[in-house]
Structure 1
């Protein structure tokens, strides 16, 4: 028999708890609105101070959720003390997340180096949310029963109640917003756009969302029978998947002695797949065991499946650790591999405890089947909190460990200077990656040739001034020589050739843009069309290089090549392509004059479906925007 940890309220809509939850939701919405407004371009204080903005963002998005749950579970004083402790921890971890950001200086050749990105912290939020969920369950149960290790029945009830509440709240908020958007669509049928504009404003969307969450949490909190019924149904349903998964896992493990492990390692995702299988096995075993009451699992097949599955966890985790070790030995640590190592440690704790539970348990048909599983679940909850804290602090920071590993591989000769992953150092290494790149600009080693040293210095310098991973990856691709470039570009009309100075200009331009174009092997198609955009004027070059738009290049008064325009959405029907290949392109004046609006030149394009049988699109030569003043 389970213990009800909720406090039912016979009049939920008139209770002080409901009013308190609504006030918490409004305060949360106000705080998030101010933070979002501060982060909107151009950012204002406190968004300009990562060590302040990130803690505030994490506190305002997470602590009110704890308050929404706790206000119906704990009395005022314990709740305030728990919220204060959680706020201090979240603030400290948020400050560290802001401190580790790579504050790259503006370089001489790139005075507009982009500032550190401080908004993309979904991973941090998720890790903090998981940790707070576990800690909240432990705190609520410990305070309620007045001891460090409460009964397993209470742990089970509290944890699964909060899990079901979270799931139902997410569904409720999603359907709530679906209803709003459907309503906006209905009003738009009548040409009334006010409702659509209203729900798109942050000052409406944020309080609407937080109030919907508070309502969902309150309704599910004051209806314990609803939660218990949904939980029992879900766990009973999922428990029937346990025998199926155990048969699959046993078949997989049983086939390993007769087959080579090479196909498993060659998948490059074996560690993740094995860990996911082990995690699902743990989940289904707990769905079957539930709160340990004998009447929960009377079906012997599911009990046997739980015992066999608990024993199968150990080889699954061992294989995952083996696969991870092989990858680390080959390529060193990365943030993803550090995360996988932490998950492996956590699941290893479960595996060890579950094996002990099986070995110390009586026959699966006995009343105390897998009883020691309860101790394992309680202890591993604390282990999970320790591992999460390690991930979110310098102790096991994935970025720090990755940089240390990659720099050690460089200095040991395991990776050459030209092959060092400066992209990972720049965008995954946080402040340690920045410091490593700044040091690599002067790094020397007697084992390296002059060419290798120069390549390392150039790659490190390039990495420090690029604002996106895409730009850096494009800039690090080595361009082919002018002779190779000339041989890879097909020039039309046939028999013509491109000037060597144009090839050099085109290659340098694409490298600066981080694209490469035809200067990178494998890109294409690479076709050049020599045309004249003015009757009797100099020749211009249209470059079809596989990027959708076709840039046009012309010589200036100093005989230097420059990109002067772009043809967008070119209709590549056979007639147009054949004419361009013959050089049959005649300059004509525009059908409509251009419009100059607030300093912006607008082109009026006629609706011309010249290519029959193909999609009609607008084709135009766009003048590049004027240079910034």
Structure 2
């Protein structure tokens, strides 16, 4: 006779197992229909968005909620997500082109993740769905259950493969036959996932895992020390050598997310954070404004140099949202007094809703990154701030949707009206190239005329060290175009905005080592001084490693300072002398070339 307790347990687990199996079968149907022709592309996008968000949300909420309530809550999430994805799909000629934009897909996933705790609490505890403690517990509980479920699936299949290897020794291939049936394998994976969720729920997995909180709280002090060291070094080291790149902004934003997570862990772990860990949490909350502000600045510097691209639009949008968090966290930490933690808990709930709204806007026409980027790049060309070699033409043709292609049409009209044959050629190459690397290979060659054009506008020091066009063989066209444009940003006295200094500038002091340093103006109004290292040889020129500038160049320079440095170099007012290796001393500027 069956044990009643066991029967009850099986009945309780069955809904989760069924939901997991059904989700696996639904994803198999989607994968099987990927190249379907029955539904229009917009219809397939809608079905995909609905099923993926519906199944994901339902699996995240079942356990704390019954099957019926989890499905109803998932419906509340899936319907608006589907609408937003359809809106975003209108940016592309084919709606399913949205899947090529990983950022928009990730935004939709994060929106589902933010919405699930709010909906779960709204349906289970209507009076507590805006309380930080309950939201934090629900969020961490969901993450813990889903992680355990995914881990259980991984262990199941590892065991399955080992079992197959064992049975294969006696010519039994049943497990292999099951794994080769796609729909059955996915349904089985989903069922195992649901079973894992059920077991975790049976063990009280609805609460936040306290062991994880205890471990994460150990990181508060080390992270606070690292952030403090970074902020303290900024006045000494300066920012110009490190910022102005999306990699810098990405590092800052990633660290800001870590800081926010650790502060929230401290607020969940202790009602009133105290002791060394509490002080570290409060310091991180106060420093968050500085880190997020620097992230915004890093993105803006890049935009100022090279205009907008979709990645920079997304980066600035995310950085601005993080800056809003930073301002709120710092305000509570600095001005909140002894009640700072309670104030921050209330602020965090509102910030979560604001973040969800900001992410949702990315999927609407309000923040169409492709349109913003295309207008920016076209405007740069029309204003004479960019040449064809610098433009992301292939991305506009193949990644930026209809807005990118509309931008290419505007550039084509401009090229025809202005007689810009180089732009016309590059537009044709960008449209016809199947991949970016194919386009890069097409522009590898450099004509003799372009090399001669560079020598005509570029001053050289010492006076007798003038290179020949052959010395520049092996360089790419876009490199020479960039240097020529820098040279044509003239100094106030009409001299070129660049200079090439030849000499033994590397790790070797051998005078026969034919190296050179190229200084040229770049950026808006030529306000930025760029430094590149070259080595001349029998096969032409090759680009060397990074160029390290001395203390005088690590801070922002004015246009007058850039012009003064170039004028001094053109007049020969410099010296080449050994430090730890030979460097170029140009007034207060010292340049070191590293291999």
Measured against aligned partners, the alpha-carbon deviations of 1:313-363 in whole angstroms (never above 9, x if no partner) come to 111111111111100100112222222212212221221121122234335
Q: Which residue of 2 aligns with 1:53?
A: 44
CA contact (8 A) 1:275 1:344 kept: yes
Residue number among 148, 156, 163 corresponding to 1:176 in the alignment: 156
CA distance in 1, matches of 2:296, 2:5: 52
* Counterpart check, 1:262 vs 2:262: no
Q: Would the alpha carbon gap of residues 268 and 388 (structure 1) be closer, same or farther in structure 2, given more than 3 Å must change? A: closer
Distance 1:316 1:118 in 2: 32
Q: Which residue of 2 aligns with 1:36?
A: 31
Q: Does residue 1:456 correspond to 2:423, yes or no?
A: yes
Structure 2 CA distance for aligned equivalents of residues 164 and 314 of structure 1: 29
From 265, 278, 286, the equivalent of 1:311 is 286
The residue that corresponds to 2:219 in the other structure is 241
Q: How many Å apart are 1:214 and its aligned residue?
A: 1.2
1:203 corresponding residue in structure 2: 183
Contact 2:149–2:193 (8 Å) recurs in 1: yes
1:91 aligns with 2:58: no
The Cα RMSD (Å) is 3.2
Cα distance, 1:359–1:53 mapped onto 2, change above 3 Å: same
**Structure 1 residue aligned with 2:347:** 376
- 1:570-626 Cα offsets, whole Å, 9 max, x none, are xxxxxxxxxxxxxxxxxxxxxxxxxxxxxxxxxxxxxxxxxxxxxxxxxxxxxxxxx
1:402 aligns with 2:382: no
Report the 3-state secondary structure (helix = DSSP H, G, I; strand = E; otherwise coil) of the residue aligned with 1:150.
coil
- What's the counterpart of residue 359 of structure 1? 334
Return closer, same or farther for 1:79/1:180 CA change in 2, 3 Å cut-off: closer
Q: Structure 1 residues 76, 259: closer, same or farther in 2, change over 3 A?
A: closer
TM-score by length of 1: 0.65
Q: In structure 1, list runs of 5 or more residues that go unmatched.
A: 1-8, 104-114, 485-518, 523-629
How big is the shift at 1:79? 4.8
TM-score (norm: length of structure 2) = 0.69
Alignment of 1:94-133 (within 5 A): 94-103=85-94, 120=100, 123-133=103-113
Q: Which residue of 2 aligns with 1:27?
A: 22
Secondary structure at the counterpart of residue 415 of structure 1 = coil
| Aligned-residue offset at 1:195 | 3.1
Which structure 2 segments of 5+ residues have no match? 452-472, 477-595
**Which among 430, 433, 436 is matched to residue 469 of structure 1?**
436
Q: How many residues align?
A: 452
Any conservation in 1 of the 2:49–2:78 contact (CA below 8 Å)? no
> Which consecutive segments of 4 or more residues in structure 1 shift more than 6 A?
519-522
Contact 2:290–2:326 under 8 Å retained in 1: no
Q: Corresponding residue for 1:626?
A: none
Deviation at 1:84, TM superposition (A): 3.0
Name the CA shift for 1:375/1:342 in 2 (closer, same or farther; >3 Å): same
User: 146, 155, 167: which one pairs with 2:147?
Assistant: 167
Give the SS at the match of 1:73. coil
Q: Which is greater in Rg?
A: 1
Q: Deviation per CA, 1:211-261: give whole Å up to 9, x if none.
A: 12211222222321x564x71111111111111111111122112222222
1:333 to 305, 308, 314: 308
For 1:209-248, list aligned pairs within 5 A: 209-224=189-204, 226=205, 228=207, 231-248=209-226
Per the TM alignment, residue 470 of structure 1 is displaced from its structure 2 partner at its CA by: 2.6
Q: Pick 1 or 2: higher relative contact order, CA cutoff 8 A, min separation 6.
A: 2
Change (3 A) 1:57 1:186: farther
Distance 1:18 1:346 in 2: 40
